[in-house]
Structure formats: structure tokens, C-alpha cells
């Protein structure tokens, strides 16, 4: 999971994609958005606006290595926020699911409708 965060923060999208299963599902409960598939999820991150950076505060994983949770600090310019992320993995260690919880509910920004479905 450290590689996932490091490659996202470095904007190394090929290395980031290598951490994901082809059928990865990404969910944002606050905005009721879901993304299916590696290509769309990588594009979502590539196109995400602003100069954001991530610092891992804590990772907790199950003994089998199939589930993990992380708490992160995300900075975007002068603003800092914390988030909780839940991950599932396949038997090869690739990420099959990510669910992000941010501290505040919000409406998603315009311009990513081509990547997400609302639920």
C-alpha cells in the first residue's frame, strides 16, 4: 500500500496503475460516486485538480493481507485535511477496492462525469 501512496503523490501513473487490479472499484460515499476499472481510476487521479500531496499517518492490515485501512493527511496548497481509506486486495496483492472517507460531505466538482457513476 505504501507504493500506491508514493506513486500517487509522485504522479507516477504507470507505477500507480501497477498497484491496481484491472477490475478495481473506487467508491466515494460522501459524493455517491463509484469508478469501475483501472483505466478510469487512473484517469480520475490524473485529472484531479490542484497540487495535492499525501502523507500516510497509519496503516492497519489484516493478517491475510486482503484488507487494510489507512489514515492520511492530504494537503492542497495551505489546506490540510485527514481522510480514512479502506482497501481490499486480491491474492496477488493488487488493489481490488478502495473506499475513501473524507471529513465533510460535498458535491463532486464538475468535469468528471465521464469517469464516474452516481449512486
**CATH label of the domain that carries residue 101:** 3.10.450.50
Q: Which residues contact residue 65 at a Cβ distance below 8 angstroms, ignoring those fewer than 6 apart?
A: 89, 93
5-37 residue pLDDT tens: 999 999 999 999 999 999 999 999 988 899 999
Question: How many other CB atoms are found less than 10 A from the CB of residue 85?
Answer: 20
Rounded to 5°, the CA angle 26-15-108 comes to 30
* Confidence grade of residue 117 (pLDDT, cut at 50, 70, 90): confident
The runs of H, that is alpha helices, within 11-78 are 13-17, 38-47
**pTM of the shown model:** 0.85
Interatomic CA distance for residues 24 and 35, integer angstroms: 8
Number of domains in the chain: 1
Find the domain containing 96 and state its range.
2-118
70 Cβ contact list (under 8 Å, min separation 6): 1, 5, 56, 57, 58, 59, 60, 84, 85, 87
Amino acid at each position: 500500500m505504501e507504493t500506491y501512496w508514493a506513486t500517487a503523490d509522485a504522479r507516477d501513473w504507470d507505477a500507480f496503475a501497477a498497484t491496481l487490479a484491472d477490475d478495481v472499484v473506487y467508491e466515494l460515499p460522501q459524493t455517491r460516486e463509484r469508478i469501475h476499472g483501472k483505466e478510469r481510476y487512473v484517469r480520475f487521479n490524473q485529472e484531479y485538480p490542484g497540487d495535492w500531496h499525501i502523507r500516510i499517518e497509519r496503516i492497519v492490515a489484516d493478517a491475510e493481507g486482503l484488507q487494510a485501512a489507512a489514515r492520511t493527511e492530504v494537503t492542497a496548497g495551505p489546506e490540510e485535511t485527514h481522510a480514512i481509506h479502506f482497501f481490499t486486495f486480491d491474492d496477488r496483492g493488487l488493489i481490488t477496492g478502495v473506499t475513501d472517507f473524507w471529513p465533510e460531505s460535498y458535491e463532486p466538482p464538475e468535469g468528471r462525469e465521464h469517469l464516474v457513476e452516481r449512486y
